Structure 1
């Protein structure tokens, strides 16, 4: 494409470096016009006479704007005048704009004044692109004009997009009814806005040097659109360093080692090396175990070796827990020993500053040279409860009864990850794998997600994320999880950096760091929870054997108050509580007393306590209703033995249903220990409050909509 070549030449002329270079609006408008974008007609005037000439040529009224690379927000400095009606005004305005520009910045380079046709009023949108440093180009569309940053009504998508995704972006905006025809008004030209997004999609694929394209306002009419203002930033195209995919093949030795050497093992459990070795032994590791410490003869009954080379057997996994400065030599020993997987627990690397960064770079280079898959440094370690393999020193492992299960957990915070592990075990929730990634000098979050996708022991993948280094690798891993139908549940720390970026452009104000993550998570079907405790709740929810195929929720309770609470909670987050069919209501009416409620939510009343068997018939009727996609049961204060009968009924209905069933129970645990134990034995998660069980249901529906491709329901859930 000739225009793309011209842009590349322009970048060369600008001597573009690490900092972005802004085109003037005239340059950007001309380039987009050459590409067929519907920009408003305009010409660059460098004298008063040219300003008058171009105004006549275009036809009054016109708009005039100062053109300077040093003046980005022209309106703020008196650099834009609207509604110029005649030659005299055009001449006077030209001089006024030059004076205002020089008063604002006497050193500013003035290219001239852009003269444009004054557009009739229409719906004002902002349409554009921002290149996120981690994930790449993001397209966005939203309410435009001067209030764009105030309203912040916009939708984003990770590029590339198709026309269906572009259309869904428009539908996600709160002002979408103004496009589609509000209160009987004629609909506006949606199709042209979609085509504009698609043109930006193509442009970014052919010119990766684009940093930002800010089109604001874009006037939308019943027929056609007009781009009135253009801002384009160019910068060097940055490529992420590709992950070392070859080394991923050795992750199996990290998670399923048949032999382990602990370098820095100790008999003193107050030291990290002592705790690590103690936990490996305590929790029943079945493979060969070799402590390495030149100052000891034996540790916990295991013969101790002075070095790795002194061990006569081959080693699958090296657990390195020595001082940071000793780590490079230990890794060299790993190479000589032929070890292909290592965990470095030691701190004192990139997290402490420049010297630590150099040391971390050194160990990474050694690992690369030896083809070693490396977890860490600054890692708490890895646990595989499913195999009784605990190569970690987190205090959660003080427990005598760790629990295995189907959840794989990855954390960039070792302390938070260990705390969540202990809380999950306390609730009876088991893990297949638990991973503290540390500084991610080598293997990173995406590598471990990909491992869990391929791990037959893992059904749900959960992650505590502070930031992603390689966006494309994360997207690949998340896509793999979606293809494998394994839910990816994420908690991402860190709120948007909008305050630091908004000073540059509207796009910076909208496409902040956190918004980019949110956009990517939505694109790949990852479930982003709002708080840390939801990581456990939602992971438990995904232990259900089936997913909802829609957002229509049947609700059964034994309390009128609970009916109201659940109905309000569902409505607030985009879940529909539909009317049950006449046949279903008739079945329920035959089971419950006349003062109960046969509508949805169903109130079986306190008769549940004296007639628990009827509860099962009600559940069967509701879950079989064609208007229901999932069933939510809210119990209150039932106690054993009645609670146990209810629990058995729920499990029996769950086992026969082709729809997911979630259970909430507000009563104290001590009232029904047998029922709760029955639920745990049959892998039925029970949530202690109405808001928590409703929220988990929302996430199940959201993931189900990704799997079943129901974009319209997803939009409603995301907006909520």
Structure 2
């Protein structure tokens, strides 16, 4: 993308492109297989006017063909340029002269070539279109499908059909081939309102389509697959627009390697690779991320149909004992609760199922219900009526013709209780009897694996809980900012030393240990005596980021003078070029759980906060969670509880629990530093933050300063 807009286009901005009433196909041709010819064929069911434009023909297939855009009886909403790259710039000039508001470009040969010439050509057409107020889709674009108007604007083969109301997915895919491949789910009963591709995104990009679909009443959920965008924060804004419209946004992000993180100086910055950055952005925007391409449509189709969850528990019903056991496994793996039924429901189940079968959740009604639909439906009704359950997973183990008889009955139960039913489609007859009926049913979703069924439920209930929470703001007081500004202004080099980093933390209310600077062995000894008891002695150097690696940290010191000499000698040997100002003599904080917290200012994302477990072992453990700053104390608490080792926070094997509220408050304070000084601090690291039962203390800190403007 070559423009520098910040706000995504909305539906009204894209109306001539998104929902054209008239279309000119420039380059229309009678030649079989031509892009122009195929486009005209695909528009056979379009509600509006279609004009053929090619100076070489007076008519094509019995339809009038115009010599130029200027010869048309009206200005079309959209001009589709189906001709090669060499013709695009003069044709764009014709569009501008004719006043065409939207243009689509199929042609390749632009920025995707990764050449200076291709990039320059794309930038020229983008600038000219932008100056003329034209909305431009492409180049290198496969097209778009509007199933509400029949405008299948593409040269590719696509599913036919129209959206006739009810749930529908609006699909955005950077790759046209992959997008149209996903759209083939229509043939098994999935509903789409729109399918759009972006190509090179010289103007209109993924973020614009997400924002436009968020405004569209025919689209009930948005599915988005993309490799990358030039401005991630524009995508975040589009996700927020979808969130505000209560339009579920399901995202599959390709190209999430962790390149670049290794160059960071701070531990937290090295932990937040590309995948973590995008996950943080999706979390902040309320988008649901899936990690498998084939999960995108199944997940989006569920969200397109599902109401808000009434409870987070799941009931499972099947005629297969194996499916029931499998469901319990995946409930535990995904963290989805499967509570037992209420006593009333247990009583109803006992009256329905054989006496040798436990009346419990998951509920195995045995193979006997193959010929006993009434019992199956009565069990489903009982479970759906239990207030502990927000949905029912039905283990569809075997596809056979009589199974389709159950479909409308189960659907009516789901509608009456206001709870969706999920078919875990376990048979390998992937589109067998019952599949298409269930896909088309607004109250039933079909998912191709038991694991995915539970993953979808977890995402659905988490989204529901988040929508129920009133957003809170986080802010820092002016006193803290003023003190921090003075500290940062006085910093002489490219890094912020430990003493200055901890002074900055203290200004934001984060507890730090008592300490003194010492430029000599004698001064170190005096400092230790003033603190009292064993102390920690550390090298005081703005040039040594990782003190322990250089022998620059000694714990439980009783002879501070000797420690001074030992540390200075070791650090000068390890870093001969470093400036060593002496040592820091610090009170010995009691042993506790060590976590790491900090942020990195990432181009395109802004400040990204990361918390993790491990102290000096943090990169070995790789247990971290990231979020876009700032975060509230509640959000920081949630980050901590999402760590794989979160059980350590509650105490483990006799260890006392930590002051989780205090830790969360400290993490939130660090995030406020990030947003208060985005142009001054490139990285900031607190490692470790020692967590104790009654407090948490930041015992080490490092700041990396941005270059001054």
1:1-26, Cα deviation, whole Å (9 max, x unpaired):
xxxxxxxxxxxxxxxxxxxxxxxxxx
Instruction: Calculate the TM-score normalised by the size of structure 2.
Output: 0.63
1:383 aligns with 2:134: no
Contact kept? 2:8, 2:207, Cα under 8 Å: no
Match of 1:252 in 2: 15
1:696 aligns with 2:447: no
Aligned residue for 1:473, secondary structure, equals: helix
Note the residue ranges of structure 2 that are not aligned, 5 or more in a row. 471-633, 645-709
Count of paired positions: 476
Q: CA 1:638/1:331 → structure 2, altered by over 3 Å: closer, same or farther?
A: closer
Q: CA 1:246/1:516 → structure 2, altered by over 3 Å: closer, same or farther?
A: closer
1:276 aligns with 2:36: no
1:16-73, Cα deviation, whole Å (9 max, x unpaired):
xxxxxxxxxxxxxxxxxxxxxxxxxxxxxxxxxxxxxxxxxxxxxxxxxxxxxxxxxx
Match of 1:322 in 2: 83
| Aligned counterparts of 2:465 and 2:74: Cα–Cα separation in 1 | 51
Shift of the alpha carbon at 1:669?
4.5
Match of 2:305 in 1: 544
Q: CA 1:523/1:349 → structure 2, altered by over 3 Å: closer, same or farther?
A: same
Q: CA 1:716/1:569 → structure 2, altered by over 3 Å: closer, same or farther?
A: farther
Q: CA 1:492/1:630 → structure 2, altered by over 3 Å: closer, same or farther?
A: same
Match of 1:649 in 2: 409
Contact kept? 1:498, 1:510, Cα under 8 Å: no
| Aligned counterparts of 1:716 and 1:548: Cα–Cα separation in 2 | 25
1:708 aligns with 2:468: yes
| Aligned counterparts of 1:440 and 1:678: Cα–Cα separation in 2 | 37
Q: CA 1:650/1:316 → structure 2, altered by over 3 Å: closer, same or farther?
A: same
Aligned residue for 2:212, secondary structure, equals: helix
Alignment of 1:69-88 (within 5 A): none
Alignment of 1:440-455 (within 5 A): 440-455=201-216
Aligned residue for 2:379, secondary structure, equals: helix
1:467-523, Cα deviation, whole Å (9 max, x unpaired):
122233212211111111111000001123346634644243112222111101011
Alignment of 1:60-139 (within 5 A): none
Name whichever structure is richer in helix by fraction. 1
Aligned residue for 2:281, secondary structure, equals: helix
Match of 2:426 in 1: 666
Note the residue ranges of structure 1 that are not aligned, 5 or more in a row. 1-133, 135-238
Aligned residue for 1:591, secondary structure, equals: coil
| Aligned counterparts of 2:382 and 2:640: Cα–Cα separation in 1 | 28
Contact kept? 1:556, 1:633, Cα under 8 Å: yes
Shift of the alpha carbon at 1:435?
0.7
| Aligned counterparts of 1:545 and 1:649: Cα–Cα separation in 2 | 18
Contact kept? 1:665, 1:688, Cα under 8 Å: yes
RMSD: 2.7
Correspondence for 1:308 among 30, 49, 69: 69
1:561-606, Cα deviation, whole Å (9 max, x unpaired):
1111011011101101112111110111111111223111111111
Contact kept? 2:321, 2:364, Cα under 8 Å: yes
1:593 aligns with 2:368: no
| Aligned counterparts of 2:244 and 2:462: Cα–Cα separation in 1 | 16
1:92-151, Cα deviation, whole Å (9 max, x unpaired):
xxxxxxxxxxxxxxxxxxxxxxxxxxxxxxxxxxxxxxxxxx9xxxxxxxxxxxxxxxxx
Contact kept? 1:662, 1:697, Cα under 8 Å: no
Shift of the alpha carbon at 1:670?
8.8
Contact kept? 1:613, 1:649, Cα under 8 Å: no
Match of 1:36 in 2: none
Aligned residue for 1:325, secondary structure, equals: helix
Shift of the alpha carbon at 1:661?
2.1
Aligned residue for 1:432, secondary structure, equals: strand
Match of 1:234 in 2: none
Q: CA 1:457/1:248 → structure 2, altered by over 3 Å: closer, same or farther?
A: closer
1:677-717, Cα deviation, whole Å (9 max, x unpaired):
43244333323432332232233223223322398998699
| Aligned counterparts of 1:632 and 1:652: Cα–Cα separation in 2 | 15
Match of 1:292 in 2: 53
Shift of the alpha carbon at 1:547?
2.6
1:168-212, Cα deviation, whole Å (9 max, x unpaired):
xxxxxxxxxxxxxxxxxxxxxxxxxxxxxxxxxxxxxxxxxxxxx
Contact kept? 1:261, 1:315, Cα under 8 Å: yes
1:357 aligns with 2:119: yes
Aligned residue for 2:251, secondary structure, equals: strand
Contact kept? 1:498, 1:509, Cα under 8 Å: no
Shift of the alpha carbon at 1:649?
2.4
1:417 aligns with 2:417: no
| Aligned counterparts of 2:10 and 2:312: Cα–Cα separation in 1 | 42
